[in-house]
């Protein structure tokens, strides 16, 4: 069956647990053990927006599993620059590859692409919409570095435009996590998402103060203020630097706290925090490889 990966809302808790378990099996291959599981398969990567981790961890995952990758390259050097539509681009690339990874600035673009595709489409981020593969690696990080049991987590920063926190909040509600949403009032989680979460029985509270929550949580999930999504640059300037995780703030932290961040960071985590026992964000970026291996194997029906 053609299985697209578009939103966390398309997954059940059981399916997520299976993917996380599969990712654990793939960890030795992510660290360099040989595999030919996807030998003969081709993955196409189409990034209409910048990326470092998502693009390169998908590429690493595919290559370490023995598969090959073709990349659209920069938008300026492809026929997108001549005005080719996303629908036509997807139809054509489906003739060349066994799955397509797509990042696009327009919310809903991945869902639309899936409608035109004869191979699985994997959403690598659609505007301020969703980023499900990031969420799966975030969940994997929590499983490996913390625990879902009685999990108390604070999502911090730009909860309005940050697609990683939208996807993650949906998933965390399936794990009955106690969520605190920490953001400036102007960057609160969209009402429609909060309503959905409450309908699912999620425990959420909102605050503007990180000091208020830092001593209460097991996970601080910190996000960047999404400069590129602000219609007015002056509004971004007002929000920039709203939160900064520092050694001083962490003096109140629980012993078992872990700090996560989807990266890239700008200035929301002091680099001195990297050397503390709390930092997990670079480990988190590694976990993208085994998780994306599990997703590719599933999409290409190899596992």
Residues that bind ligand CP (CB under 6 A): 51-54, 125, 134, 262-264
Nearest approach in angstroms of CB 64 to ligand CP is 18
Q: How far, in Å, are 54, 104, 112, 259 from residue 91 at the CA level?
A: 23, 16, 12, 41
CB 157 within 8 A of CB 183: yes
Nearer to ligand CP, 8 or 303 (CB): 8
Contact 48, 85 (CB under 8 A): no
- Tell whether the torsion through CA atoms of 291, 295, 300 and 302 is positive or negative: positive
Q: Tokens at residue 225, please?
A: 């203020």
Nearer to ligand CP, 125 or 157 (CB): 125
Q: Which is nearer to ligand CP, 135 or 173 (CB)?
A: 135
Question: Please, what is the minimum distance in Å from the beta carbon of residue 287 to ligand CP?
Answer: 12
Q: Which is nearer to ligand CP, 56 or 240 (CB)?
A: 56
What DSSP line would sit under 225-250, residue for residue? --GGG-SSHHHHHHHTTS--B-HHHH
For the CB of residue 50, give the shortest distance to ligand CP in the complex, in Å: 7
Residue 254 or 265: which CB sits closer to ligand CP? 265
Q: Provide, rounded to whole angstroms, the least separation between the CB of residue 55 and ligand CP.
A: 6
Bridge partners for 43 per DSSP: 69, 99
Q: How far is the CB of 99 from ligand CP (least distance, A)?
A: 17
- Tell me the H-state helices in the chain: 13-30, 53-64, 86-93, 109-116, 132-145, 163-174, 191-199, 233-239, 247-250, 281-299
Q: Which is nearer to ligand CP, 263 or 300 (CB)?
A: 263
Nearest-approach distance from CB 34 to ligand CP, in angstroms: 26
């Amino acid at each position: 069956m053609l299985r697209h990966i578009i939103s966390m809302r398309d997954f059940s808790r059981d399916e997520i647990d299976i993917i996380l378990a599969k990712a654990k099996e793939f960890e030795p291959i992510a660290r360099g053990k040989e595999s030919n599981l996807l030998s003969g398969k081709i993955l196409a990567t189409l990034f209409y927006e910048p990326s470092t981790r998502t693009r390169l961890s998908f590429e690493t995952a595919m290559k370490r599993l023995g598969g090959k990758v073709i990349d659209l390259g920069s938008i300026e050097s492809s026929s997108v620059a001549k005005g080719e539509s996303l629908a036509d681009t997807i139809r054509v690339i489906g003739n060349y590859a066994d799955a397509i990874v797509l990042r696009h600035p327009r919310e809903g673009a991945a869902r639309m692409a899936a409608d035109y595709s004869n191979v699985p489409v994997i959403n690598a981020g659609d505007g301020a919409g969703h980023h499900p593969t990031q969420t799966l690696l975030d969940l994997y990080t929590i499983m490996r570095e913390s625990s879902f049991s009685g999990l108390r987590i604070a999502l911090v920063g730009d909860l309005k435009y940050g697609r990683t926190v939208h996807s993650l909040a949906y998933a965390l509600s399936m794990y009955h996590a106690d969520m605190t949403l920490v953001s400036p009032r102007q960057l609160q989680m969209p009402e429609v998402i909060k309503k959905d979460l409450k309908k699912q029985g999620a425990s959420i509270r909102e605050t503007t103060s990180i000091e208020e929550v830092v001593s209460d949580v097991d996970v601080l999930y910190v996000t960047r203020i999404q400069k590129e999504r602000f219609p007015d640059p002056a509004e971004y300037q007002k929000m920039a630097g709203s939160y900064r995780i520092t050694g001083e703030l962490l003096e109140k932290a629980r012993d078992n706290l872990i700090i996560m961040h989807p990266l890239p960071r700008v200035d929301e985590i002091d680099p001195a925090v990297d050397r503390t026992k709390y930092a997990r964000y670079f480990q988190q970026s590694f976990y993208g490889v085994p998780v994306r291996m599990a997703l590719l194997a599933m999409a290409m029906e190899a596992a």
